[in-house]
Structure 1
Amino acid sequence: MTRNPPELDDAFYYRDVPDYMTEVYDWAYVNPRHAALLDRNLVVRVLLFGNDRRLMRAYLERVRPGMRVWQVAHVYGDLVQRVAHKVGVQGLFDLTDVTPVQVAHASRKLSALPQSRVVQADAAEFQGERGYDLITSFFLLHEVPDGKKREVVDNMLRQLPPTGRALFVDYHKPAPWQPIGWLLRWVNHYLEPFAAALWRHEIRDFATQADRFVWKKRTLFGGVYQIVEVERLQAPMA
């Protein structure tokens, strides 16, 4: 039987991975064999019911050359390369992820782009360089427990400078007429146990100091997805 080389043996991929990831998402994000099969644009397109480019565009349209961007978790497909390319060599693209296999995939994709940095870190604890223009959570919140949602949101907002912006792209409660909602109820029950919280709560509900920020939300695909932009509330001029 073929084995990974010693430095990349199975134990490596499970190093410092939170229990909820191994217990719930081993099949999707931790096991290196499964990740190798899933990290494809086609898989992302199927999982997002053909809305992948539309949702990615909502993120990419907010990226400008020279920006400093922190994306709090890796995403399958080519999104991370597209963001790094767009910030350009005068910008910075920091990408964090808590699992070694995702760090390995991201590092491979971004190896030729010197403006990018990949770090194994918990999005709730990572302390990046101050001055990010954009901090993005692209389909992370629905995959973490509710307490962790609050920690991630608070950490993102804590590092947001006065002129910066946070962006959350994630699931949302579908409209009653949206038939995809019934499928997602099954998926949430059996595969995504932390996702239902985004059906019951606004993302701002997970922010300890939500009133210090301006929140703008729009939904897509009959309410299945939400795009939430956050900026610091500016003090009124004297």
Structure 2
Amino acid sequence: MNTRSGSDGAWPAGVGAARTVALGEIDAGREATPALTRYDGSEPVWSHAVPPYLMKNYWWAYVHPRAVRFWERQWLINLILFGNFVKLRDAALSELGASLGGRTLEVACVYGDFSVKLAERIAPGASLDVVDVLPIQLRNLRRKLPDGAPVTLHLGDSTALGFADTTFDQVIVFFLLHEQPAGVREQTLKEAVRVVRPGGKLVIVDYHRPSRWHPLHLVLLKPILRVLEPFSPDLWTHEISEWLPAGIAAKAMRKQTFFGGLYQKLAVTL
């Protein structure tokens, strides 16, 4: 992996030239994406393998070391979610179950204690794998996890997970899809479905179109989300199920909304 030094004031070359990935560029971009590797803490925080859309639109939230230090405050994440972080976290965890056997996959790191609480539910002899494309996010999660936690961290892309088919008993995608262009989002879900075993479960938590009476309806859609979260309005106009693989053999699919419809949990049993 080609990387640069990660000092606080340094930026990787070419940031200003970053651009959003178009639908037809996903496969081409994957050629430059390294294979899934186990994260051991040695990777520099900067990486040229970071997807261009992520660097362009979310450097301020996930990529720069100062951003990680700023946003890694659970009260702040709860504030952004209008006081719903714990409710949404617990809804996702409850959907998975109190004691998780076999193998569990979390696609992308999460600010706050979501991953820590998830790791606490891993049963003896079972395991949790977490994949993220940013070394700095994996380093941040590693710092939060207690010693001896049954968790393995992997540096990799959600659009090319690198695990064998039907590897996992359950997969969780928590507030990731709204940060991805439609084509990337579709490939992420294709990969998530691919690695779930028959009878396993995929749980997704993300934004949803709020009801018409919701006071944040217009305030969020135009002046905030379209500026800071440019891909998130897709989840107001489409169902997540529309991005699932065509012909998916789901045994059950259940959606629940929260906070006047602004957030959703989709549970898919395969």
Q: Say whether the 8 Å CA contact 1:96–1:122 is kept in structure 2.
A: yes
After TM superposition, the structure 1 = structure 2 runs for residues 16-165 of structure 1, keeping only pairs within 5 Å, are 16-61=49-94, 62-63=96-97, 64-110=99-145, 112-128=147-163, 130-165=166-201
Specify the alignment match of 1:235 in structure 2. Answer: none
Specify the alignment match of 1:209 in structure 2. Answer: 246
Flag structure 1 segments of 5+ consecutive residues without an equivalent. 1-5, 233-238
* Structure 1 residue 148, shift from structure 2 partner: 0.3
Q: TM (normalized to structure 1)?
A: 0.90
Mapped to 2, the partners of 1:220 and 1:30 lie a distance apart of: 29
Specify the alignment match of 1:3 in structure 2. Answer: none
Mapped to 1, the partners of 2:204 and 2:155 lie a distance apart of: 20
Residue 190 (structure 1) aligned with residue 227 (structure 2): yes
Secondary structure in structure 2 of the residue aligned to 1:13: coil
Number of matched pairs = 227
* Structure 1 residue 184, shift from structure 2 partner: 1.6
Mapped to 1, the partners of 2:100 and 2:227 lie a distance apart of: 41
Residue by residue over 1:13-37, the C-alpha shift from the partner in whole angstroms, topping out at 9 and shown as x without a partner, is: 3302111111100000101111111
Mapped to 2, the partners of 1:114 and 1:41 lie a distance apart of: 20
Mapped to 1, the partners of 2:248 and 2:121 lie a distance apart of: 32
Displacement over 3 Å in runs of 4+: 6-12
* Structure 1 residue 110, shift from structure 2 partner: 2.4
Residue by residue over 1:33-84, the C-alpha shift from the partner in whole angstroms, topping out at 9 and shown as x without a partner, is: 1111111111111011011111001111123243421010100011111111
Mapped to 2, the partners of 1:150 and 1:90 lie a distance apart of: 33
* Structure 1 residue 113, shift from structure 2 partner: 3.2
Q: Say whether the 8 Å CA contact 2:6–2:46 is kept in structure 1.
A: no
Which moved further from structure 2: 157-166 or 113-122? Answer: 113-122
Mapped to 2, the partners of 1:173 and 1:14 lie a distance apart of: 35
Flag structure 2 segments of 5+ consecutive residues without an equivalent. 13-43
Which moved further from structure 2: 27-36 or 208-217? Answer: 208-217
* Structure 1 residue 207, shift from structure 2 partner: 1.5
Distance 1:80 1:113, change over 3 A: farther
Specify the alignment match of 1:181 in structure 2. Answer: 217
Mapped to 1, the partners of 2:217 and 2:152 lie a distance apart of: 37
Mapped to 2, the partners of 1:65 and 1:155 lie a distance apart of: 21
* Structure 1 residue 8, shift from structure 2 partner: 4.1
Mapped to 2, the partners of 1:170 and 1:67 lie a distance apart of: 25
Q: Say whether the 8 Å CA contact 2:5–2:46 is kept in structure 1.
A: no
* Structure 1 residue 111, shift from structure 2 partner: 5.5
Q: TM (normalized to structure 2)?
A: 0.79
Aligned-partner residue type, residue 105 of structure 1: N
Distance 1:141 1:103, change over 3 A: same
Mapped to 1, the partners of 2:248 and 2:263 lie a distance apart of: 23
Which moved further from structure 2: 222-231 or 80-89? Answer: 80-89
Which moved further from structure 2: 144-153 or 102-111? Answer: 102-111
Residue identity over aligned pairs, in percent, reads 32
Which moved further from structure 2: 183-192 or 21-30? Answer: 183-192
Which structure is richer in relative contact order (CA contacts within 8 A, separation 6 or more)?
2
Mapped to 2, the partners of 1:178 and 1:47 lie a distance apart of: 16
Secondary structure in structure 1 of the residue aligned to 2:261: coil
